[in-house]
Structure 1
Amino acid sequence: MPLRPVTLALPKGRILNEALPLLARAGINVPHALADESSRALRFPTSRPGLDVIRVRSFDAATFVAFGAAGLGIVGNDVIAEFDYSELYAPLDLGIGRCRLSLAAPAGHAFDLATPSHVRVATKYPALTKAWFAARGIQAECIKLNGALELAPAMGLAPLIVDLVSTGRTLAENGLVERAVLLDVTSRLVANRVAMKTNPEVAHLVRAIAAAVPAAGAARAA
């Protein structure tokens, strides 16, 4: 019986670079052009028959999988939590792309979570941000930005930001400091629930990739 084709959605940037060695251990090799940011190609074959990969923005990888355009993807748990797609099944923590989703403010900004009833926040994560503040009895007015979040306080757009932080260098260079961590982030292997049930190759790929993940990073997603 011929294999049913599967597409794997991969995010651009650091996560892609960390994912490639893992995929290689799973027997999935891709063209060098996939990691070449100057390449305009977005879809690539792999060494595994019936499997190709697409290179997309990190937020979009979840959407491609949730709507069935891709059977599998690699997505941060920040994106999974923000969109909360019921069609996504996240069976495996890959242990890559480690960072944190943090609340940050200017170094001289006096902010006490026990004081305000309303805050304005610039973020790419309005759903997560509103929920985090709501759990503390605070109404968050979220201004959606897709980049340059560190400029928001200095430009008077919003006194607070919620964004991904790795080393903290970008915050420091823009006069910001972390005030709280909303979520510890790693990248997960996600599958479309229908594809997982109806295409045996999707389930087989999940097992192959799981076998390639070091035991320390192979915790099952909740």
Structure 2
Amino acid sequence: MSIAIALTKGRLEKETIKLLEKSGYGIESVKNKGRQLVFQDSQKDVQYFLVKANDCITYVQHGVADIGVVGKDTLLEGDKDYYEMLDLGIGKCKFIVAGLQGKSPFDKVGHVKIGTKYPNIAKKYFLAKGMDVELIKIDGSVELAPLLGLCDGIVDIMETGTTLKENGLVVFDTVCEISARVIVNKASFKLKRKEISQVLEDLKESLGENDVTTN
């Protein structure tokens, strides 16, 4: 049976393609995609399409994609009507709490405001800390918010920390580590278990791992 795989555009797309190529998949058309968005594997009965991170979950949940590759950050912020099957260990970064030097939101007495693109993740984190904070949703450069006094700190993704340093911000805590995950449509896993398991095993072989498990 044919398998449809949704790949998150950008860095994860490139790194996932490397893993698939290592496993003998025919992904030449994806590597030389131009403006094309849907591709057929030249070696296996697999179709790929490129989507934004949030849309990857949507396509998997609705069964348009049997398999999706997306960052754990997107999974944590959204719904979970799918199986999370495999940590690919690529696209590694972390969620952090940051702010101005000497102005930690953890030390502030009274009302604390946190700016973030990820309100659900931030809310869960601060509730676990026993802190009732006001969350301000920011879609642009989150680092700007504490500099202009909009908030006392931010929750954001950090890869190298360069942007934070260049803007005079420091990390106060790590919320969690994140990386790319393989998710699978629940119905597809029942109907196409053999085919999906083969793709997962191939990816794990590329990573030098064994045994696929369902979370």
- Identical pairs, percent: 33
Q: Which residue does the alignment assign to 2:82?
A: 88
Aligned counterpart in structure 2 of residue 141 of structure 1, from 134, 147, 150: 134
Asked whether 1:113 is paired with 2:111, we answer: no
Q: TM-score, normalised by structure 2?
A: 0.87
Paired residues of 1:117 and 1:139 also in contact (CA < 8 A): no
Go from structure 1 to structure 2 and tell me whether the alpha carbon gap of 1:141 and 1:35 turns closer, same or farther (over 3 Å shift).
farther
Structure 2 spans left out of the alignment, 5+ residues = none
Give the CA deviation at 1:62. Answer: 2.0
Paired residues of 1:78 and 1:183 also in contact (CA < 8 A): no
Asked whether 1:65 is paired with 2:63, we answer: no
* CA distance in 2: counterparts of 1:158 and 1:71, whole angstroms: 41
* CA distance in 2: counterparts of 1:168 and 1:28, whole angstroms: 35
Asked whether 1:128 is paired with 2:135, we answer: no
Give the CA deviation at 1:145. Answer: 2.6
* CA distance in 2: counterparts of 1:32 and 1:107, whole angstroms: 48
* CA distance in 1: counterparts of 2:213 and 2:17, whole angstroms: 20
Give the CA deviation at 1:195. Answer: 0.6
- Secondary structure of 2:48's partner? strand
* CA distance in 1: counterparts of 2:164 and 2:50, whole angstroms: 28
* CA distance in 1: counterparts of 2:203 and 2:152, whole angstroms: 42
- How many equivalent pairs are there? 214
Aligned counterpart in structure 2 of residue 29 of structure 1, from 26, 29, 33: 26
Go from structure 1 to structure 2 and tell me whether the alpha carbon gap of 1:35 and 1:112 turns closer, same or farther (over 3 Å shift).
farther
Structure 1 spans left out of the alignment, 5+ residues = none
* CA distance in 1: counterparts of 2:162 and 2:212, whole angstroms: 29
Give the CA deviation at 1:220. Answer: 5.4
| C-alpha RMSD of matched pairs (Å) | 2.5
- CA deviations on 1:103-161 (whole Å, 9 max, x unpaired) are 111234x2252654642222221111001001111123222233321222223332322
Q: TM-score, normalised by structure 1?
A: 0.84
* CA distance in 1: counterparts of 2:177 and 2:32, whole angstroms: 26
